[in-house]
Structures are given as structure tokens and as C-alpha cells.
Amino acid sequence: MKTYDLIVVGGGVSGLVAASHAAGLGRSVVLLEAENRVGGCIESWRPQADFWLELGAHTAYNSYGALLDALAARGRMAELLPREKAGYFFMEDGRAVSPLKRLGVLELLAHLPFGLFKAKARASVGAYYRALMGAGNYQRLLAPAFAAVLSQEAEAYPAAWLFRKKPRLKSAPRKYSFSGGLQGLMEALTEGAPFETRTGAAVSTIERDAEGFVLSVGGEQLRCRTLVLATPVDVAARLVQPLLPGLAAQMAQIAMLSIETLAVVVPREAVTLPVLAGLIGADDAYFSVVSRDPVPHPSLRGFTFHFKPGLLDRARKLAVVARVLQVAPEAFVAVQEKTNRLPALQVEHLDLVLEVDRVTHDQPIALVGNYLNGLSIGDCAERAVREAERLGGGV
């Protein structure tokens, strides 16, 4: 049976950064990914050789230090593609309008001086930002804007996990993508890496013995001294159940949401909308529309619609896309659909994070992912490094 210092289960940003960091500490590492690609919630659709469009996460920032450190370890920092400045808009009466038009200044001035003193640590997004900016401003502007960021209703989301401030790496573009999209960045973390990557390698069971863990992967068994689970929370709950049943039961209480994504490519001349980063859904069927415009192409534009789940079939989604872009469906050069899965995080899940850390702090197992530190790429990478460091001391 092949033995490793560390096995990482899950090839999204959390797993890739954990594997990269642990391998950099001199550990023997294998990363196992059930799908036939790495990236997890990051997936770049490549309908033609010189054009890609994001189907999941869209933007990375120079405050994502743990991710950039992993990329620097591969010597690939020079390949970052800066994103040009562009704004987000609401659609009103067929026109893209500035979010500032929805801001009630008098209401803001009446609430801001008092809301600044409200504690953020244990507050929901809804409670915190209503107090900060007023209920009207929250309903008109912030609620749809935050839902666009999170691809889910933001009312109960932990305010402390939204827009967490981090130091910026000045040598990197403030916002960036990568050749081939952000999935290209994920792939770069595996190319020439000092750890092994296996795709199409679904883990069915994990058992613990005196020497560590034994994982069943297809018809093979692998052994490791330490283990990182970097999977969606429902998958992690299933895998960890034989090892930590009490914790698994708590993890299983987090609901998973399906975000219905539909992306289209259109000729540049077919769309009259201004150059934009995206659109915020308010009373429409989508949370957000994210544009490829910040990484411009000479002849094409691309738009990814993240639809609210369970509302529309494919034909009606295409009709919404045509209406918003003000083009005929026949103008679509290419269309792609995908369902993304995200945890529905709420304030009470902050207690789960404390419990995860309490239960695992002296154990050779780590749980990382977007249900433990916030949904952003940077938050996921940050926890992955911290946990890889913790496990490194036990090998």
C-alpha cells in the first residue's frame, strides 16, 4: 500500500493551496480530485482557443496572499492578467444604471453615525447593514448587491465573513485573471508541482488505524499519516462520519444550494450595453450577470448569468439573456450551462467553525473549504495554509 505524509481530498483552491504548501515543507503529498479537472467552484469554459468565460468564481485579488504564494512557488506570477476597470450596474427599463442611483443619502446620514458602532462579529449581513445604512438602502441596494456577490440570498450570511480586509501584494495586479481563465491558474498550481495530482479519483471510504488513515480510491487503497478534506461540506460530512461522527452530524446541517449558471458568447458588435464588470439582479430571475469585458477580446463579448434556482427552464433562461443583452438568441455564438453548488452559510455556522477547530486541533486531520472561513477564493486559501502548517508539525 502506497504511503504519503499527507493526502488531500479535493482539488479546488483549498485543496490545491494546502497540497502546495505542505509539499513546500518537504512532505510527500498526493491530491485526489473526483472530477476530471482541478478547480472545484472555479471553472473556465473555453469555447474557442482564444476565448474563455468563467462559469464559477470570476475574480481574484492581490489580497489573496496564500494563493499568490502558491503561484509564486510554481514561478508563474508573470502570467497574471490584469482586469481592466469596469463597474457593476442595475438594469432598469432596459438601461444599465449606477448602483448609486438606488442610494438614499438622507437615510444613510441618519443611520451611519450610529451603525458604525454596531458589532460585526456575531451579526448577520441583514442585521448589520440595515443598522449601518438603513432598511430602505439595504433593501434597494445592498441586499441584491450582496446576493450577486454570494450567488445566494445574503440576509443570514455572517457579516464578519463578507469583505474581510487583508494586506495587498503590491507587485500583483489589484484584480486579475490568468491565461485560460482562473481555471488556468488552478492548473498552473499542479504543473511541475512537487506533489502528485490524480483527477477522476473519487474517495469512497476513509478508515483510521494506528499509523494514520487508509483511503479507498476506486480499486486501490492509499495510506497517509495526515489528511486534509477539502471537499464540499456535504461530501466532507459523509467522509468524516466514521472518524468524527458528532462533528459530521453538525456539518450535515449546512444546506447546499444549486446555482444555475448559463453563459453566452456574442459578437462584440451585437451588444450595445456599455463595457461593464457585471449586472446586479434585483427583481429579476438572476443573482448576477458577470461579464468578460474586464479582460477584453477584439471581436467577442461573454456574459455569465447566475440564475436563482428552480425558477426557469433553459428556454426561459435564454429568453431572459436575450432580453437583458437586447439581442436575438440567434446572435449567440456559443451557450454553456452548469450547476454550481455552494453552502448556505448563516451566522450560527460560526459556532461550527469553533467546534471544527476544537475537535481537530490535536488530530492529524484538517477540514478546509468554503464553509469554514467565507466563500471567497482568498478566504479558502488562507485557511488551507494555516491547516497545512498545523499538520506539518505532526509528521
| Residue 113 pLDDT | 87
Question: How much helix, strand and coil, in percent to the nearest 5, is found in the chain?
Answer: 35, 30, 35
Query: Is 263 within a domain?
Result: no
Query: Is 266 within a domain?
Result: no
Q: Are residues 8 and 64 in the same domain?
A: yes
CATH number for 67: 3.50.50.60
Q: Are residues 66 and 114 in the same domain?
A: no
Domain final residue, candidates 126, 161, 196:
161
* pLDDT above 90 (res 117): no
**E strand or H helix at 346:** none
| Residue 347 pLDDT | 94
Q: Are residues 116 and 151 in the same domain?
A: yes
Q: Are residues 354 and 237 in the same domain?
A: yes
Domain final residue, candidates 161, 190, 208:
161
pLDDT, one tens digit per residue, over 150-196 is: 999 999 999 999 988 889 999 999 999 999 999 999 999 999 999 99
pLDDT, one tens digit per residue, over 2-35 is: 999 999 999 999 999 999 999 999 999 999 999 9
Q: Are residues 77 and 104 in the same domain?
A: no
pLDDT, one tens digit per residue, over 230-245 is: 999 999 999 999 999 9
* pLDDT above 70 (res 394): no
Query: Is 312 within a domain?
Result: no
pLDDT, one tens digit per residue, over 254-272 is: 999 999 999 999 999 999 9
Local structure of 215: helix, strand or coil: strand
Amino acid making up residue 382: E
Q: Are residues 225 and 124 in the same domain?
A: no
Single pTM value for the model: 0.95
Query: Is 126 within a domain?
Result: yes
Give the number of other Cβ atoms within 10 Å of residue 9's Cβ: 25
Amino acid making up residue 244: L
Q: How many domains does the chain have?
A: 2
Q: Are residues 70 and 191 in the same domain?
A: yes
* Helix residue ranges, H only, the chain: 13-24, 65-73, 105-115, 125-133, 135-137, 143-150, 182-188, 233-240, 245-251, 314-325, 349-360, 377-392
Q: Note whether 130 and 139 are within 8 A (CB).
A: no
Query: Is 33 within a domain?
Result: yes
Q: Note whether 103 and 134 are within 8 A (CB).
A: no
Q: Are residues 114 and 6 in the same domain?
A: no
Question: Which one is predicted more confidently, 118 or 208?
Answer: 208
Q: Are residues 25 and 69 in the same domain?
A: yes
Query: Is 44 within a domain?
Result: no
Q: Which residues pair with 177 in a beta bridge?
A: 81
Q: Are residues 65 and 132 in the same domain?
A: no
Domain final residue, candidates 129, 161, 193:
161
Q: Note whether 81 and 176 are within 8 A (CB).
A: yes
Domain, as residue range, for 106 = 100-161
Q: Are residues 77 and 106 in the same domain?
A: no
| HSE-up (13 A, CA, CB side) for residue 263 | 26
* pLDDT above 60 (res 393): no
Query: Is 151 within a domain?
Result: yes
Query: Is 75 within a domain?
Result: yes
Q: Are residues 245 and 356 in the same domain?
A: yes
